[in-house]
């Protein structure tokens, strides 16, 4: 009787470790085909449909809608086509299941790609790990021995399976196994800062071990189990009734973690300036009258000024990374970029998202406007890819749409700066010595004080402000 094939939840993004099961698209007993969508899951990055790499009959659905599932854990069990008997109620060990799944995927992969997930069938080249064929009648016993690193053959096969499923297009260095991720997480190692020593930049176990410093062993005092909290709808600290509880997960969990990391790691400073945006508003009004359907929005023009400003003040288009020095210790470096990936904050039903316009410095205001609109629609539909959400080098935040004038924004880690634009409103302004009513906005720049000082930050902010106040002359030079 054939064993069910168990499909493990793949890494749906760059190092994501969990996903929320939103909805099953199949039921137990259904006949499914290779690459048929079987479930909708939501990660901190996007909402995606997960396709099945196997064809057959659905035997077990491992999870209920609303449940958070860990990457690398069983998602669905499928009885192969033509198998005899039903699915077993008891599952094999996760390592054995992964090893079997890995062997099966060597035979025929789905070829489907899901945000970096894919099996190598048909047109790809699968890595072969089987032993050479033996002569007929020869009995061969293959021992399952522990390797020198303490990892069994089955666990190594499980690693290999997940390695196949965690490829990120254009960034093979992001391919990491669950064991490597767990080791890095337990020791506080940022995998995003590592350069993999494996083939094509693959992050290996030894890369993580190289940056782990042995910590002194401290005897822990005995822990007395806490008494279970009494079932009550009253908050013990305030004495107020509890009206509801909301789990911090998905996008909110990712935002919380990123903001906390930004505040704990980046010594930020903020500068701001009021700007007379009358000339920019009037220029756009003239253009819109001439071409009502193809005129960029004000944010696109400001984005164009920002990318030009970052070329003049490239210190703000950088990030701090920690690397290994020649003596085996660690050192920090300021990494500069040849180009600008301009992120912009977009409010969605799933929370705040920051997609980025790649190579924004090479685009015109009209091209920036089109890309901003496209990415806004993509993130609101929950279909943005990790590359679209995690590749920014500087962020532009238009919080004026919320009706506020200013904000000391938190830097989108690991970037070095974020520029905020407040609402544009009528204010009294002195023009040529006389009081007038002008369209005024506030620009706020929060920057990483490690990469530059106030002079650079102030110079960049003043450049963008001058461009808004005199858009015609600035655009003529771009």
Query: What are φ and ψ of residue 176, in 5° steps?
Result: -145, 150
pLDDT at 13: 59
On the question of pLDDT at 230 being above 60, the answer is no
pLDDT at 296: 94
Residue 226 lies in a domain: no
pLDDT at 168: 40
Average pLDDT (20-39) is: 89
The number of beta carbons lying within 10 Å of the beta carbon of residue 270 is 15
**Residue 227 Cα to chain centre, angstroms:** 38
Structure tokens at 428: 């009294």
Do both 272 and 178 map to the same domain? no
Q: Which residues of 101-138 are buried (b: 16+ CB within 10 A; e: fewer)?
A: bbebbbebbbebebbbbbbbbeeeebeeeeeeeeeeee
Average pLDDT (385-396) is: 89
Q: Look at the block and give the residue holding tokens 């660690």.
A: 330
Query: What are φ and ψ of residue 177, in 5° steps?
Result: -90, 160
Do both 63 and 193 map to the same domain? no
Radius of gyration (C-alpha) of the chain in whole angstroms: 27
Task: Say if CB 45 and CB 174 are below 8 A apart.
Answer: no
Query: Residue 188 carries which DSSP code?
Result: T
Of the pLDDT bands very low, low, confident and very high (cuts 50, 70, 90), residue 110 is very low
On the question of pLDDT at 295 being above 50, the answer is yes
**Which one has a higher pLDDT value, 474 or 466?**
466
Do both 386 and 413 map to the same domain? yes
Residue 438 lies in a domain: yes
Summarised one tens digit per residue, pLDDT across range 63-77 is 988 888 888 889 999
The domain total for the chain is 3
Summarised one tens digit per residue, pLDDT across range 189-213 is 777 667 676 654 667 777 777 777 5
User: Which domain range does residue 31 map to?
Assistant: 1-118+150-166
Residue 352 lies in a domain: yes
Q: Is the dihedral of CA 83, 87, 90, 94 positive or negative?
A: positive
Active-site residue, 62 included: no
Do both 334 and 434 map to the same domain? yes
Report the DSSP beta bridge partners of residue 438.
427
Q: Look at the block and give the residue holding tokens 């013990």.
A: 236
Task: Say if CB 110 and CB 127 are below 8 A apart.
Answer: no
Do both 396 and 376 map to the same domain? yes
CA distance 324 to 242: 49
Question: Strand, coil or helix: what is 394?
Answer: strand
CA distance 141 to 154: 15
CA distance 138 to 248: 57
The number of beta carbons lying within 10 Å of the beta carbon of residue 186 is 10
pLDDT at 335: 95
pLDDT at 330: 86
Return the percent helix, strand and coil in the chain, to nearest 5.
30, 25, 45
CA distance 196 to 202: 5
Counting Cβ atoms within 10 Å, is residue 167 exposed (0-12), middle (13-18) or buried (19+)?
A: buried
Of the pLDDT bands very low, low, confident and very high (cuts 50, 70, 90), residue 428 is very high
Residue 134 lies in a domain: no
Residue 217 lies in a domain: no
CA distance 273 to 406: 10
Do both 347 and 433 map to the same domain? yes
Nearest partner of 40 among 60, 22, 64, judged by Cα: 22
> Which CATH number covers residue 469?
3.30.559.10
pLDDT at 146: 38
On the question of pLDDT at 137 being above 50, the answer is no
pLDDT at 240: 92
Of the three residues 166, 201, 225, the one that is the final residue of a domain is 166
Which of 62, 187, 293, 449 is the catalytic position? 449
Nearest partner of 422 among 457, 447, 397, 451, judged by Cα: 397
On the question of pLDDT at 279 being above 60, the answer is yes
Integer angstrom CA distances of residue 78 from 96, 160, 176, 306: 16, 21, 26, 52
Do both 162 and 174 map to the same domain? no
Of the pLDDT bands very low, low, confident and very high (cuts 50, 70, 90), residue 179 is low
Summarised one tens digit per residue, pLDDT across range 154-167 is 554 444 444 444 43
pLDDT at 406: 87
pLDDT at 11: 74
Instruction: Return the percentage of the chain with pLDDT > 70, whole number.
Output: 70
Average pLDDT (249-263) is: 80
Do both 336 and 471 map to the same domain? yes
On the question of pLDDT at 126 being above 90, the answer is no
pLDDT at 152: 52
Do both 281 and 389 map to the same domain? yes
pLDDT at 208: 77
Residue 138 lies in a domain: no
Of the three residues 166, 199, 224, the one that is the final residue of a domain is 166
> Which CATH number covers residue 30?
2.40.50.100
Instruction: Return the percentage of the chain with pLDDT > 90, whole number.
Output: 40
Question: Strand, coil or helix: what is 133?
Answer: coil
Residue 222 lies in a domain: no
Do both 177 and 278 map to the same domain? no
Do both 274 and 411 map to the same domain? yes
Residue 228 lies in a domain: no
**Which one has a higher pLDDT value, 173 or 58?**
58
Of the pLDDT bands very low, low, confident and very high (cuts 50, 70, 90), residue 150 is very low
> Which CATH number covers residue 201?
4.10.320.10
Structure tokens at 234: 């009253």
Do both 437 and 461 map to the same domain? yes
- What's the mean per-residue pLDDT of the chain? 77
């Amino acid at each position: 009787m054939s064993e069910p094939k168990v499909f493990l939840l793949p890494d749906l993004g760059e190092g994501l470790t969990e996903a929320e099961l939103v909805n099953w698209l199949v039921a137990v007993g259904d006949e499914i085909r290779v690459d048929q969508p079987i479930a909708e899951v939501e990660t901190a990055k996007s909402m995606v449909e997960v396709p099945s790499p196997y064809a057959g009959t659905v035997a077990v659905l491992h999870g209920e809608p609303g449940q958070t599932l860990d990457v690398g854990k069983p998602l669905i069990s499928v009885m192969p086509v033509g198998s005899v008997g039903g699915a077993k109620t008891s599952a094999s060990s996760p390592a054995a299941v992964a090893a079997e799944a890995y062997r099966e995927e060597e035979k025929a992969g789905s070829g489907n790609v899901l945000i970096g997930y894919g099996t190598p069938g048909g047109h790809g080249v699968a890595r072969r790990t089987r032993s050479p064929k033996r002569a007929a009648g020869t009995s061969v016993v293959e021992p399952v021995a522990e390797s020198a690193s303490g990892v069994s053959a089955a666990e190594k096969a499980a690693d290999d399976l997940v390695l196949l499923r965690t490829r990120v297009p254009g960034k093979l260095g992001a391919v990491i196994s669950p064991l490597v991720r767990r080791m890095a997480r337990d020791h506080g190692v940022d995998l995003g800062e590592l350069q993999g020593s494996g083939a094509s930049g693959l992050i290996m176990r030894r890369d993580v071990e190289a940056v782990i410093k042995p910590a002194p062993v401290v005897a822990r005092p005995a822990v007395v189990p806490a008494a279970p909290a009494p079932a009550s709808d009253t908050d013990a600290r305030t004495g107020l009734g509890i009206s509801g509880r909301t789990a911090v997960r998905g996008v909110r969990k990712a935002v919380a973690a990123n903001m906390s990391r930004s505040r704990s790691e980046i010594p930020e400073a903020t500068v701001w300036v009021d700007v007379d945006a009358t000339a920019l508003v009037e220029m756009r009004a003239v253009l819109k009258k001439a071409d009502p359907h193809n005129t960029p929005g004000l944010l696109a023009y400001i984005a164009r000024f920002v990318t030009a400003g970052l070329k003049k003040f490239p210190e703000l288009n950088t990030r701090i990374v920690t690397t290994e020095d020649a003596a085996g210790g660690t050192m920090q470096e300021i990494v500069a970029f040849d180009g600008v990936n301009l992120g912009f904050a977009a409010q969605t039903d799933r929370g705040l998202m920051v997609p980025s316009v790649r190579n924004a410095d090479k685009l015109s205001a009209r091209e920036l406007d089109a890309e901003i609109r496209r990415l806004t629609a993509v993130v609101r539909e929950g279909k943005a890819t990790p590359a679209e959400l995690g590749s920014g080098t500087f962020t532009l935040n238009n919080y004026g749409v919320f009706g506020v004038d200013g904000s000391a924004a938190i830097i989108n880690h690991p970037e070095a700066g974020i520029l905020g634009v407040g609402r544009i409103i009528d204010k009294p302004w002195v023009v040529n010595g006389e009081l007038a009513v002008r369209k005024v906005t506030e620009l706020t720049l929060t920057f990483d004080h490690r990469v530059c000082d106030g002079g650079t930050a102030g110079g960049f902010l003043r450049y963008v402000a001058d461009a808004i106040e005199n858009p015609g002359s600035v655009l003529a030079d771009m």
